[in-house]
């Protein structure tokens, strides 16, 4: 099964309509994204809870790391730079934080609210090497902007 981002965006938009609670929206997005594609082994959010600090939020899959400072690992890099991180081989990423030994590749997207406020990051891990492409980055970015960009 491979994700159809147009269909996924429509489903998420329908479920998220009128909701303004960030955590409820994160839980819904994590669930829908996680079950949309067999490549997605762990799908979840890390929320900005203090300056330069991420804490685990709603997710699907095994346990995630509880706390990640900005600049540490793939999630911290996405938070610090505000840019999508696509990592084909996590073992080759300097400073990768191994929350799960099964993770082989990863995509992390910054999540912005209204006026460019960083809410957190969406982290998707795969147990397959080189599982993510720019198509994933574009499709997921559009979904995140439509759901969280209004908050």
Each residue's pLDDT tens digit in the chain (151 positions)?
A: 789 999 999 999 999 999 999 999 999 999 999 999 999 999 999 999 999 999 999 999 999 999 999 999 999 999 999 999 999 999 999 888 888 888 999 999 999 999 999 999 999 999 999 999 999 999 999 999 999 999 9
> b/e string for 53-89 if b means 16 or more Cβ within 10 A?
ebbbbbbbbeebbeebebebbbbbbbbeeeebbbbee
pLDDT for the residue 128: 97
pLDDT for the residue 129: 97
Q: Which of 81, 103, 99 is nearest to 90 (CA)?
A: 103
Looking only at the bridges linking them, the beta strands covering 42-50 and 53-60 are antiparallel
Which one is the CATH code of 5-148: 3.30.450.40, 1.10.3720.10, 3.40.50.300, 3.30.465.10? 3.30.450.40
Contact yes or no for 81/74 (Cβ under 8 A): no
Task: Show me where the domains of the chain are located.
Answer: 5-148
3-state secondary structure of 50: strand
Contact yes or no for 57/68 (Cβ under 8 A): no
pLDDT for the residue 101: 83
């Amino acid at each position: 099964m491979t994700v159809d981002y147009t269909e996924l965006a429509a489903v998420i938009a329908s479920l998220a309509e009128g909701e303004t609670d960030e955590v409820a929206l994160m839980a819904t997005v994590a669930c829908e994204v996680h079950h949309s594609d067999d490549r997605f082994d762990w799908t979840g959010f890390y929320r900005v809870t203090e300056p330069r600090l991420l804490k685990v939020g709603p997710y699907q899959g095994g346990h995630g790391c509880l706390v990640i400072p900005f600049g540490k690992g793939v999630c911290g890099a996405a938070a610090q730079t505000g840019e999508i991180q696509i990592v084909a081989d996590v073992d080759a990423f300097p400073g990768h934080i191994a929350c799960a030994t099964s993770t082989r590749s990863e995509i992390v997207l910054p999540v912005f609210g209204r006026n460019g406020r960083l809410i957190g990051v969406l982290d998707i891990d795969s147990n397959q090497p080189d599982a993510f492409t720019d198509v994933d980055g574009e499709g997921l970015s559009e979904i995140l902007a439509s759901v969280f960009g209004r908050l």
